[in-house]
A and B are shown apart, each in its own frame.
Chain A
Amino acid sequence: SQQGEEDPQALSIQEGENATMNCSYKTSINNLQWYRQNSGRGLVHLILIRSNEREKHSGRLRVTLDTSKKSSSLLITASRAADTASYFCATDAKDQGAQKLVFGQGTRLTINP
């Protein structure tokens, strides 16, 4: 079963606009990571936010985490055509000593020129 649920499943915006994707999860976490995937290739790590952090920035990316609501959001500002990809959130899951990432089904982002 998948813990993370991304919303929306698909998002299409114009170049230059901001894109916001949301992620909800079910159990307590140590951290949450966001990844980008282009056309079924490997996952590119974007950002990790720990459970005691509320907001984190990296370039044009801003991630927030609300552990009381078990949710996170990824904001991409001033979007570019190259941002077109699928975006996944992944929560770690304590599993008898293993570091096990649990992914949602992702948000498919399309940036229109």
Chain B
Amino acid sequence: DAGVTQSPTHLIKTRGQHVTLRCSPISGHKSVSWYQQVLGQGPQFIFQYYEKEERGRGNFPDRFSARQFPNYSSELNVNALLLGDSALYLCASSSGFYNEQFFGPGTRLTVL
């Protein structure tokens, strides 16, 4: 079975631009979460979506938004990119609350 997949693998943008990151969960998983990992630190929670509804939001500005589609895949959007948005963006899927969260390979975003 395929694990969590994310696209693209790498992305280079300039300040002020917009970016869309995509995630496909493990088949049968209805929960998708997004995390940001800055170099040298642990991942930080951005969003969780479950059954296409936002269930939680971390301490990130409104420039960050996300959505989940009927097939449970998800998009993370970041507007007006800042240099500080450069990070590894990780997507995780889970079969339900308080179960294991499985992560994808991540998207490395570089903002110049």
Q: Using a CB–CB distance below 8 Å, which chain A residues touch chain B? A: 2, 4, 30-31, 33, 35, 40-45, 48, 50, 88, 90, 92, 95-106
Q: Given the complex, which residues of A lie within 8 Å of B16, measured CB to CB?
A: none
Cα separation A56 to B95 with both chains bound (whole Å): 21
Within 8 A of A (CB), among B94-110: 94, 97-106, 108
> For residue B108, which residue of chain A has the nearest CB?
A40
B42 in contact (CB, < 8 A): yes
CB distance from A96 to the nearest CB of B (A): 7
- Identify which of B44, B56, B57 gathers the most chain A CB atoms within 10 Å of its CB: B56
B73 in contact (CB, < 8 A): no
Cα separation A47 to B57 with both chains bound (whole Å): 25
Within 8 A of A (CB), among B40-67: 40-45, 48, 50, 55-58
> For residue B56, which residue of chain A has the nearest CB?
A98
Q: Using a CB–CB distance below 8 Å, which chain B residues touch chain A? A: 4, 31, 33, 35, 39-45, 48, 50, 55-58, 88, 90, 92, 94, 97-106, 108
Cα separation A42 to B99 with both chains bound (whole Å): 18
Q: Given the complex, which residues of A lie within 8 Å of B106, measured CB to CB?
A: 40-42
CB distance from A7 to the nearest CB of B (A): 14
Flag if B90 contacts A33 (CB, 8 Å): no
Q: Given the complex, which residues of B lie within 8 Å of A101, measured CB to CB?
A: 33, 35, 43, 45, 92, 101
Flag if B48 contacts A98 (CB, 8 Å): yes
Flag if B48 contacts A100 (CB, 8 Å): yes
Q: Given the complex, which residues of B lie within 8 Å of A43, measured CB to CB?
A: 43, 90, 92, 103
Flag if B104 contacts A42 (CB, 8 Å): yes
Q: Nearest 6 A-B pairs (CB), nearest first?
A: A98-B56, A103-B42, A42-B105, A43-B103, A98-B55, A98-B48
